[in-house]
């Protein structure tokens, strides 16, 4: 019995010791805080009454200084064959190929500001020895009309015997129309209207050399 009493007494002593330690810790914590507060200059330890009168500048809210209204997407303009033209004719590649497999026709034309194509069928169509193919192609090409975003010289080379590129279009002399707003980019689209010619046989960014 004495042993248990002693045990209890020891426990109590330990408990009180812990309590004392914690209270001492608290006391020291507060003491250090008080000392540090006292060392601070008076302004930093107390809010002066005059500070309550100061006005905090409120930053302006969005929409108070101006507004930006998000507008429509600017779509690029595409210089291409204008399929809405009523007199537009398609060139039947296979038909001409079946008649004249070795036809080699070059056309030097001018795209006018309204998009229509202009060339002289006699002087601007070069097809030595392939007059039928040259005439047929010229009749079809003169019906082609483009969207009115560019103007200038355009060259076509219909090279039937080629195993690779059969149609080359030279557009490096085309320039953008001046009346177009600068905000638009003008890209090249499909510049030919041909049936039976795979796209892989066409080079729209090539160079065509036509004798003057």
Partner 1 sequence: MAFRTKENSFRKVQLVSLIDMIFILLVFFMVTVTVVRLTIKEQKLPVPTPISERGRAQIVIQLLNNGNFLWLDDHATAQISKVMDTIEKNYSYLSPSELNRKKTEEALSILLKKNIFRKDQMEGKLKHLLKIADSDPSSHYFVLLRSPDEIPYYEIINIMQKLNSAKYQNVLYGCVGGRLDDIKNSQNVKVVIEKDKNGRRRENLQIDF
CA atoms of 102 and 159, how far apart (whole Å): 8
Q: How far is the CB of 3 from partner 1 (least distance, A)?
A: 13
51 binds partner 1, rule: CB under 8 A? no
Q: Are 68 and 96 in contact (CB under 8 A)?
A: no
24 binds partner 1, rule: CB under 8 A? no
Determine the interface stretch with partner 1 among 39-47, 120-128, 163-171, 188-196 (rule: CB under 8 A).
39-47
Choice between 26 and 99, CB closer to partner 1: 26
In the list 10, 24, 27, 37, the residue contacting partner 1 (rule: CB under 8 A) is 37
Interface pattern 162-201 for partner 1 (x via CB under 8 A): -----------------x-x-x------------------
Q: Are 131 and 137 in contact (CB under 8 A)?
A: no
**Dihedral sign for Cα atoms in the order 7, 13, 19, 21:** negative
Q: Are 140 and 90 in contact (CB under 8 A)?
A: yes
42 binds partner 1, rule: CB under 8 A? no
Residues β-bridged to residue 174: 152
Choice between 49 and 64, CB closer to partner 1: 64
Q: Are 79 and 149 in contact (CB under 8 A)?
A: yes
Count CB neighbours of 106 within 10 A.
22
CA atoms of 143 and 134, how far apart (whole Å): 15
DSSP secondary-structure letter at 164? S
Residues in the interface with partner 1 (CB under 8 A) total: 40
Where in 65-124 is the site for partner 1 (CB under 8 A)? 65-74
- C-alpha angle with apex 141: 176 to 200, nearest 5 degrees? 80
Interface pattern 136-155 for partner 1 (x via CB under 8 A): --------------------
Residue ranges in contact with partner 1 by CB under 8 A:
1, 5, 8, 11-12, 14-15, 18-19, 22-23, 25-26, 29-30, 33, 36-37, 40-41, 44, 59-74, 179, 181, 183
């Amino acid at each position: 019995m004495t042993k248990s009493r002693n045990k209890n007494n020891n426990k109590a002593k330990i408990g009180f010791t812990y309590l004392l330690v914690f209270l001492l810790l608290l006391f020291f914590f507060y003491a250090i805080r008080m000392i540090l507060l006292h060392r601070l200059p008076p302004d930093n330890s107390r809010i002066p009454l005059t500070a309550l009168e100061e006005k905090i500048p409120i930053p302006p809210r969005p929409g108070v200084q101006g507004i930006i209204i998000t507008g429509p997407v600017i779509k690029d303009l595409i210089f291409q064959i204008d399929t809405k033209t009523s007199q537009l004719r398609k060139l039947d590649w296979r038909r001409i190929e079946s008649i004249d497999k070795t036809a080699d026709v070059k056309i030097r034309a001018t795209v006018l500001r309204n998009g229509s194509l202009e060339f002289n069928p006699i002087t601007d169509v070069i097809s030595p020895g392939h007059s039928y193919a040259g005439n047929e192609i010229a009749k079809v090409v003169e019906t082609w009309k483009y969207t009115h975003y560019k103007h200038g010289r355009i060259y076509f080379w219909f090279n039937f015997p080629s195993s690779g590129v059969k149609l080359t279009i030279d557009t490096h002399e085309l320039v953008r129309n001046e009346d177009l707003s600068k905000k638009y980019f003008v890209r090249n689209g499909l510049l030919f209207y041909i049936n039976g010619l795979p796209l892989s046989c066409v080079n729209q960014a090539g160079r065509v050399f036509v004798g003057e």
